[in-house]
A and B are shown apart, each in its own frame.
Chain A
Amino acid sequence: MSTSDPSKLISKADKLTKLSLTRWSADWKSATVLYEQAANGFRVARNYEKAKLAFEKASQGQEMLSSPWDAAKHMESAAALAKELRNWAEVIDFYRKASELYMQCDRPQPASDALAKGARALEDALPDDAIQLYTDACVILEDDGKEQMAFDLYRAATSVYVKLEKYTDAAAFLLRLGLAADKCNARNSQCKAYLSAIIVYLYAHDLKQAEKCYNDCSQIDAFLGSDQNRCASKLLSAYTEGDVEEIKRVAQSSAISNLDNVIIKLARKLP
């Protein structure tokens, strides 16, 4: 069965699903099975284009059979193959469709996972779309109340922003991360997020913004009593005094070395 030519399987399945004079209703069940086999066969043969097509059709079949879960899974495989083919528009499409199907199953977590995978695939090629996908993924998780999972996504999105040198956006994202951390009582992550935001502002040579950000964050009790707070105040005072040595010394301190790698690089490059 699986050794027979996948293209033959596809044509057979197509025949099953095409409505014609002799066939009044499409036989999706057997067709889906055939499509899946064909897709696997193509994937093994590394015929990505055809495999992708087969997965698409298989997913469609599963939808018709009202099993959105399997449909979503097939969509994801199709999207992975599209990534191999570097067909970015299709990648976005497929991942979005997969995530919608997951939401139909009432499973927001795999939905956001799918979007995150898409975003990661697109980071190099289409960073803006990647950011869009990351934001959507975060929104899905927040709606579900599972902000904890969103931390990683926020951090990845910030790194993309920093790569694009959109520092204000990066800082805004970090503040959103802080907010999410606050909701889950994740003090350490929260303080780290705020410290990272301040560093990003300083890197963008925006002292006013940085100070404003620092003042805002000082309103929050958790940040006020933390290590990161002290480090931030040292950094800002070193900046206002224009003491390069002090800045470099604070950047080497342990509080900053515990942050994200991207942020550490920024900090080391200060002033």
Chain B
Amino acid sequence: MTVIDLITRVDAICKKYEKYDIDKHKEANVTGDDAFARLYGVVESEIDAALQKSEAAATEKSRATAVAMNAEIRRTKARLLEELPKLQRLALKKVKGLSREELEARNDLVYSLKDRIEAIPDGSTAAAKQSGGVSGGWAASSSYTGIKIDSSSEAFESEYFQQTEESDRFRQEYEMRRMKQDQGLEVIAEGLDTLKNMAHDMNEEIDRQMPLMDEIDEKVDRAASDLKNTNVRLKDTVNQLRSSRNFCIDIILLCIILGIAAYLYNVLK
């Protein structure tokens, strides 16, 4: 019996079981006030999605995509496991319109949910099943897949050292990726160093130029006010000049008229 058959069987069983649950929960969810039911529904749908992904991963030919999908599944599982305690707390809360039996049922539901999450195949549990023989698939697998950076190498080493070549390749890939990440991080660190140095230098340069700018500001202000003063005075002077020139013209014209008048007087006399 191959792993794939196992998985399909387990999936079928899960699906059958889920049907019952979903009906119940849909009724409870109708109200919309029930936070527990909502969260439960969300977790359910995510479990479904993860299961589908795991099925796809199992049938995937390309090693890399399978590995990536398994990683995704593991991440989802860890996230769901984190949300479980929240769910538990909500389960214990009393919601109006809910009987006591339902409350207890909720607790049980939460526990079974935990089992289901962990049972989602993600590449490591599949191998566990293989070594653990054919079971219902519901037994909480002992491989606790805590999310590390994208690998499950620890689980591999501790449990099944009779390596399948798949896990070997996987480990190599992990090492290579980690090295590449380290290199990239080093490059970034160097760049940041240069930036920091440049920023410091710029800071000091600007500090240096600040008093100079203040001086320039002061001098320019002084020069501007001087100019303004001078302009005003110039305007006054020019006005005065003009008016005094008019005054002179007046006097001159007056003299001319007097002269003409005297001449006429002389002639007429």
By the criterion CB–CB under 8 Å, are A148 and B194 in contact?
no
Task: Count residues on chain B whose CB falls below 8 Å from chain A CBs.
Answer: 11
Chain B, residue nearest A148 (CB)? B208
B2 within 8 A of A: no
- The contact string, 1 if C-beta is below 8 Å from chain A, for chain B 206-219, is 01100100000000
**Whole-angstrom distance from the CB of A52 to the nearest CB of chain B?**
32
Which residues from chain A contact B204 at a C-beta distance below 8 Å?
Answer: 148, 186, 188-189
**Whole-angstrom distance from the CB of B21 to the nearest CB of chain A?**
59
By the criterion CB–CB under 8 Å, are A188 and B201 in contact?
yes
Question: In the assembly, what is the distance between CA of A149 and CA of B207, in Å?
Answer: 11
By the criterion CB–CB under 8 Å, are B194 and A186 in contact?
no
A184 within 8 A of B: yes
Task: Count residues on chain A whose CB falls below 8 Å from chain B CBs.
Answer: 13
Q: How many A-B residue pairs have CB under 8 A?
A: 26
B197 within 8 A of A: yes
A22 within 8 A of B: no
By the criterion CB–CB under 8 Å, are B200 and A255 in contact?
no
- The contact string, 1 if C-beta is below 8 Å from chain A, for chain B 185-207, is 00000100110010011011001
| Residue among A189, A254, A255 having the largest count of chain B Cβ atoms under 10 Å | A254
Question: In the assembly, what is the distance between CA of A125 and CA of B80, in Å?
Answer: 78
Which residues of A from 253 to 271 have beta carbons under 8 Å from B?
254-255, 258
**Whole-angstrom distance from the CB of B189 to the nearest CB of chain A?**
8
Chain A at the B interface: SS class: helix
Question: In the assembly, what is the distance between CA of A254 and CA of B190, in Å?
Answer: 7
Which residues from chain B contact A149 at a C-beta distance below 8 Å?
Answer: 208
By the criterion CB–CB under 8 Å, are B203 and A258 in contact?
no
Chain B at the A interface: SS class: helix
By the criterion CB–CB under 8 Å, are B200 and A188 in contact?
yes
Which residues from chain B contact A188 at a C-beta distance below 8 Å?
Answer: 197, 200-201, 203-204
Question: In the assembly, what is the distance between CA of A146 and CA of B204, in Å?
Answer: 13
Chain A, residue nearest B209 (CB)? A148
**Whole-angstrom distance from the CB of A226 to the nearest CB of chain B?**
10
Which residues from chain A contact B211 at a C-beta distance below 8 Å?
Answer: 146
Which residues of A from 149 to 175 have beta carbons under 8 Å from B?
149
Chain B, residue nearest A145 (CB)? B211
| Residue among B194, B200, B207 having the largest count of chain A Cβ atoms under 10 Å | B200
Chain A, residue nearest B201 (CB)? A188
By the criterion CB–CB under 8 Å, are B207 and A254 in contact?
no
- The contact string, 1 if C-beta is below 8 Å from chain B, for chain A 176-202, is 000000001111110000000000000
**Whole-angstrom distance from the CB of A189 to the nearest CB of chain B?**
6
Which residues from chain A contact B203 at a C-beta distance below 8 Å?
Answer: 188
By the criterion CB–CB under 8 Å, are B207 and A148 in contact?
yes
Chain B, residue nearest A258 (CB)? B197
Which residues from chain B contact A186 at a C-beta distance below 8 Å?
Answer: 204, 207
By the criterion CB–CB under 8 Å, are A254 and B208 in contact?
no
By the criterion CB–CB under 8 Å, are B201 and A254 in contact?
no
Question: In the assembly, what is the distance between CA of A188 and CA of B207, in Å?
Answer: 12
Which residues from chain B contact A185 at a C-beta distance below 8 Å?
Answer: 207
**Whole-angstrom distance from the CB of B162 to the nearest CB of chain A?**
42
Question: In the assembly, what is the distance between CA of A258 and CA of B194, in Å?
Answer: 8
Contact of B193 among A187, A189, A254 (CB under 8 A): A254
Instruction: List residues of chain B with CB under 8 Å of any chain A CB.
Output: 190, 193-194, 197, 200-201, 203-204, 207-208, 211
What are 10 pairs between A and B in contact, CB < 8 Å?
A: A148-B207, A148-B208, A186-B207, A187-B200, A188-B201, A188-B203, A255-B193, A258-B193, A258-B194, A258-B197
Instruction: List residues of chain A with CB under 8 Å of any chain B CB.
Output: 146, 148-149, 184-189, 227, 254-255, 258
A186-B204, A187-B200, A254-B190 given; name 16 further pairs at CB < 8 Å: A146-B211, A148-B204, A149-B208, A184-B207, A184-B208, A186-B207, A188-B197, A188-B200, A188-B203, A189-B204, A227-B193, A254-B194, A254-B197, A258-B193, A258-B194, A258-B197
